[in-house]
Structure 1
Amino acid sequence: MAQTFLVLIPIPGTGHLFSAVELANLLVGRDHSLSITVLLMKLPSDNPKGESPSAALDASAVQVLHPRVSFVYLPDDGTFRDMAANNFYIRLVESYCPHVSRAVAKLASECNSSSLQRRLGGFVLDMFCASMVDVANSFGVPSYIFFTSSSAMLGLMLHLQELRDDHSKDVAGYRNSGEELAFPGFACPLPGKVLPALVLRPETVGLFLDNFRRFRETRGIIVNTFLELEPQPLKFLQSEPGLPKVYPVGPIVNVWGSSGDSTRTQVCHEVAKWLDRQPEASVVFLCFGSMGRFDEDQVREIAIALEKCKYRFLWSLRRSQPKDKIGLSRDYGVDLREVLPDGFLERTAGIGRVIGWAPQSEILGHPSTGGFVSHCGWNSILEGIWFGVPMAAWPIYAEQQLNALQLVKEMGLATEVRIDYRRDFKMESGVTVSSKEIGQAIQALMEESGEQRRKMGKLRDISRNVQKERGSSHVALGEFLKDVSANMKKA
């Protein structure tokens, strides 16, 4: 039987890579005539040895990789290395377009010369890879976007792009707007200051919204969400004329845990042993993502709050990259005491642990975990929902302020630490959240979140059923695969 292969291209960011791998497994598991080749770009690094995306993959979903999912590592010719550049990821992707074109031509040639009868069916592009629509067009195949954030974020960005292009709106001017703004897809008005920094900065908004404009040229948009979670934003997207078809196929989450790295395996083992000794739903887990960072003053305020609250806690504390660099945060190691109050580790030894990298899905899935203080990255939100853990929202960068507002105000699924907090690259709030404010949020999360726990429990059950047969995401995924198949029959 003739087979179709899709080219899947994520950006070299941890959350995007993991989600892409999980999507690939989901697709080939559903369609036995489909195979997927994931093209991997390399993140520039000051380290001469570079930072290979394979390291992240080996530590994540490699356990569940399907034999019809393969990887091609694209060469890094050093043409773009400025990690402090505006719209870094979009410009990195543009520099890789020639490499993608050559890699796909080679794959297509190998298929034509073999007896496998595999044909290229299309490109599935990361949300920052819209410039590669031109590459897909050069091969005469459709392109699809894989959007790794919420459908609310997708609708908002497409609306802002339309305001700019069709109504000459200065979108970056929302940065200084004190008013709350009504946007389609949201029940509540949005303060302008919660929009992503790339939209609010005049030097980045142009290229960023240009990237979203190209979404309109694609065949469809796959979104990591599900209908029951975001009914209003999805209704807007599905009714808006001129937009490609939207496929809500989530939640796509890495619930299998981490493997392939002996150090991280040991961390998982030690954390699990500690959690096993704690009462059910008694531990507050603080984790702020692969690039989350705080300055030393803020770290100390968090520590003071945890000590005064006296709740059991598990805190993933990491050393950040310099603020003008894009990259993963690192563990403090033996330097941990340098940023914590004197004697903090000794005084809290009976109730808490401070670790570096954290096995987030394992912790959220443990019965002892009762609350999650999160940066509100979309993947983390979906994991919190998957495990039914109430959250406290403390966004830091990217679209997280928007996610936090949606989680707190629109969905009623989280308490608030500080929604407008921001430590974005090149755009920071300059605010230090006090230990009192943090402590109050933790107390509300652990003691006063009965309604949130009820909602989370209900959504947890829904999230685990939507990809089962006849579930909303199962249906949407089937519609996407039918579209790929129909395009192949036309070719």
Structure 2
Amino acid sequence: MKKAEVVFIPTPGVGHLVSTLELAKLLINRDNRLRITVLVIKFPHTTEVDLYTKSLPITDSLHVINLPECSIPPNTPPSSFMNVLLKAQKPNVKQAVSDITTGAENGVLSALVVDMFCTTMIDIAKEFSVPGLIFFTSGIASLGLILHVHTLFERDNVDSTQLLQQTQLTIPSFANLFPINSLPSFMLRKEWESFFMNYAGGLKKADGIIVNSFEELESHAVHSFSSHPDLPDFPIYPVGPLLNLEPKTKRTIDSDDIIKWLDDQAPSSVVFLCFGSRGSFEEHQVKEIAFAIENSGAHFVWSLRKPQPKGTLISPSDYPLSELDSLLPEGFLDRTAEIGKVIGWAPQAQILAHPATGGFVSHCGWNSTLESIYFGVPIATWPLSAEQQSNAFELVCELKMGVEIALDFRVEVGGGANYLLTSEKIESGIRSVLDKDGEVRNKVKQMSEKSRKTLLEGGSSYAYLGHLIDYIINQVSN
């Protein structure tokens, strides 16, 4: 029998590609009747994706095709950059899918799995008469939030101005009333409204949504999809946590040093501060963090990045040592030399996995949240952008698995932060996240065990993956 061929279309950028490839590997390792082709779209002038795809084991069941690069007009605004790129790539995707359906050695095309930001590609699934599934790389509560607010905009003619006049909303996928100031910026800004309506409307065109989460973690949100009339009734498949715990790049002398330094620290005594690949702060906020760390007396590893030039999409970079000295409070590095490390890029999974790490001050990106839970490290929440504010609210108020530094802090695209977080507030977060006997720590430890079991036989993610595979295989026999 011919294999069931599934075509994956991840969003450009390493973050989404990594979890897409983890999902692809999970599927083919579970069932040898599947064959997967990943179509890689690149941002113009980037090479980091190549480093990752070249290291993949290419087998009879997993293929990677790099699509031709497209040039984007230089004056394209950030809010429409992605749409322009995907539109330019659509003919290439169509051609690649067409080649797959006619190739003699290929399987029978059974489904397209498109990333949450590539929903415009679902049209191609319809053209080839196969299901269009979406891979949603954030949580289930967050998915419910996006779909519900889209319904309010579309069905009830609510808009961002009216949202801002309220203080909280009832959202089916959250058990508690949801604060308006923890909504993602793209729901609250007029200029992002058409982006949001396209994006959320695209999610509703799916035949099913695969989510990088697990039922034990988000049970209320999972059940809201089957029980609440305001949410779409398509199937959701929580098959996570999909984590890539062996980073492929950036093994540096520094990261060996940090691990050696952690080896000398007491268990659960170190606080790790890290804000993702795009997180950085202005100088006055950096100083408040430094005062907080020093006043808390905690041992620490702080990943401190230099902000990208204003108005660019470049990622933050590492500070040269000479600049660090003038950026931090005078004498900070000397006074804390024995108890902490200020570093640039951080090997996050290795630090979280280390027994000395006792707390994580994080931007609450979903991958970071899942990694922290997996390694049993409680989070102190400091969201910056995207859906990180709603992740922070979920961790602190719904799951009781995080402590609050902030729930509504945000950094606007091409702009600054909405307020300054004081050192007192940050220090209080550091102290409570390191609390050895805290309720939060116990909850995270219990969930850590569940997150390791859910993908094994008998776990909920294992079962959902089985349902997903049955659905795909059935397309071949129909």
How many angstroms apart in 2 are the aligned matches of 1:201 and 1:173? 11
The residue aligned with 2:12 is 12
Distance 1:345 1:56 in 2: 34
Q: Structure 2: how far apart are the matches of 1:66 and 1:186? A: 42
Specify which of 107, 118, 143 is matched with residue 107 of structure 2. 118
1:249 corresponds, among 234, 239, 250, to 239
Residue of structure 2 aligned with 1:305, choices 281, 284, 292: 292
**How far apart are the structure 1 equivalents of 2:437 and 2:170?**
28
Cα separation, 1, equivalents of 2:134 and 2:310: 29
What is the deviation of 1:58? 6.0
Tell me by how many angstroms 1:80 deviates.
4.7
Relative to 1, partners in 2 of residues 1:317 and 1:53: Cα closer, same or farther, differing over 3 Å? same
Q: 1:64 Cα deviation (Å)?
A: 7.2
Tell me whether 1:138 sits opposite 2:127 in the alignment: yes
- Where 1:121 maps in the other structure, the secondary structure is strand
Inter-CA distance 486–302: structure 2 relative to 1 (3 Å threshold): same
Partner of 2:355: 367
What does the per-residue CA deviation read over 1:24-62, in whole Å, with 9 as the maximum and x for residues that have no partner? 111111111212121111223xxxxx1124256269xx4
2:92 to 69, 75, 99: 99
Say if 1:323 and 1:425, in contact at 8 Å, map to a contact too.
no
Distance change in 2, residues 1:203/1:306 (3 Å): same
Alignment check: 8 A CA contact 1:372 1:391 kept: yes
Which aligned pairs between 1:189-200 and structure 2 lie closer than 5 A?
Answer: 189-200=177-188
Asked if the contact 1:249–1:477 (Cα under 8 Å) also holds between the matched residues in 2, the reply is yes
Q: What amino acid sits opposite 1:459 in the alignment?
A: M
* CA-to-aligned-CA distance 1:308-367 (integer Å, 9 cap, x gap): 222110011112223433342222234333422232222211010111111111110000
Q: Verify: 1:440 aligned to 2:440, yes or no.
A: no
Deviations along 1:439-481, whole A, 9 cap, x unmatched? 1110111126611111011100000111111210000011011
Instruction: Report what 2:200 is aligned to.
Output: 212
TM-score, normalised to structure 2, is 0.94
Structure 2 CA distance for aligned equivalents of residues 130 and 53 of structure 1:
24
| Residues 172 and 228 in structure 2, CA contact (< 8 A), matched pair in contact too | no
> Where do 5+ consecutive residues of structure 2 fail to align?
none
**Letter paired with 2:294:** E
1:47 corresponds to which residue? none
How many percent of aligned residue pairs carry the same amino acid? 40
Residue ranges of structure 1 left out of the alignment (5+ in a row): 45-49
Hey, what does 1:155 align to over in structure 2? 144
Residue 77 of structure 1: CA displacement? 2.4
Q: Map Cα deviations across residues 175-226 of structure 1 (whole Å, 9 max, x no partner).
A: x335222111212111212111111111212232222222222221001111
CA displacement 1:109-132 (0-9 Å, x = unmatched)? 3x23xxx35222221111011100
Sort the Cα spacing of 1:338 and 1:99 in 2 relative to 1 into closer, same or farther, 3 A. Answer: farther
Residue 424 (structure 1) shift: 2.6
C-alpha distance in 1 between matches for 2:4 and 2:157: 43
Do the aligned partners of 1:289 and 1:377 also contact (CA within 8 Å) in 2?
A: yes
Q: Any idea what SS the aligned residue of 2:268 has?
A: coil
Per the alignment, residue 166 of structure 1 pairs with: 155
Supply the distance in 1 between the matched residues of 2:154 and 2:51 (Cα, whole angstroms).
Answer: 38
Aligned-partner SS, 1:86: helix
- Count residues in correspondence: 475
Partner letter of residue 47 of structure 2? S
Pairs within 5 Å for 1:23-422 = 23-44=23-44, 50-55=45-50, 57=52, 62=55, 68-82=61-75, 84-109=77-102, 111-112=103-104, 116-174=105-163, 176-240=164-228, 242-255=232-245, 257-259=246-248, 261=249, 263-334=250-321, 335-422=323-410
Q: Deviations over 1:404-446 (max 9, x none)?
A: 0110011111111111111131565431111121111101111
| 2-structure distance, mates of 1:310, 1:144 | 49
Of stretches 384-393 and 24-33 in structure 1, the one that deviates more from structure 2 is: 24-33
Deviation at 1:372, TM superposition (A): 0.5
What secondary structure, in the 3-state scheme, does the structure 1 residue paired with 2:113 have?
Answer: strand
Q: Give the direction of change, closer, same or farther, for the CA distance of 1:56–1:12 in structure 2 (3 Å limit).
A: farther
Give the CA deviation at 1:68: 2.7
Inter-partner Cα distance in structure 2 for 1:135 and 1:154: 23
Measured after TM superposition, the shift of residue 81 of structure 1 is: 4.8
* Residue pair 1:249, 1:473 contacting (<8 A) in 2 also: yes
- Contact 1:9 1:39 (8 Å CA) reproduced: yes
Query: For residue 484 of structure 1, what is the aligned residue in structure 2?
Result: 472
From the superposition, tell whether residues 320 and 40 of structure 1 become closer, same or farther in structure 2 (CA, over 3 Å): farther
2:454 match: 466
Residue 475 of structure 1: aligned partner: 463
Q: 8 Å contact 1:173–1:200 — kept in the other structure?
A: no
Deviates more, 1:443-452 or 1:298-307: 443-452
Cα deviation, 1:88-107, whole Å, max 9, x if unaligned, reads 33443233212211222233
Residue type at the aligned position of 1:52: T
What amino acid is the match of 1:170?
D
TM-score (norm 1): 0.92
Amino acid at match of 2:270: V
Contact 1:374 1:395 in 2 (8 A): yes
Q: Is 2:318–2:344's contact at 8 Å kept on the other side of the alignment?
A: yes
CA distance in 1, matches of 2:285, 2:437: 25
Residues 228-250 of structure 1: CA deviation (Å, up to 9, x unaligned): 11111111112345432100111
Q: Which moved more, 1:206-215 or 1:30-39?
A: 206-215
Closer, same or farther: CA 371–292 of 1 in aligned 2, 3 Å: same
Root-mean-square deviation (Å): 2.0
Output the amino acid matched with 2:212. Answer: N
- 1:43/1:53 contact within 8 Å kept: no
Between stretches 327-336 and 342-351, larger displacement belongs to 327-336
Distance in 2 separating the partners of 1:123 and 1:385: 30
Task: Indicate the SS of the match to 2:112.
Answer: strand
Equivalent residue letter for 2:61: R
Q: 1:66 to 1:137 in 2, by over 3 A?
A: same
Contact 2:310–2:415 under 8 Å retained in 1: no
Contact 1:161/1:210 (<8 A) preserved: no
Residue identity in the other structure for 1:103: A
What SS does the corresponding residue of 1:99 show, helix, strand or coil?
helix
Distance 1:179 1:332, change over 3 A: same
CA distance in structure 2 between the partners assigned to 1:323 and 1:33 by the alignment: 49
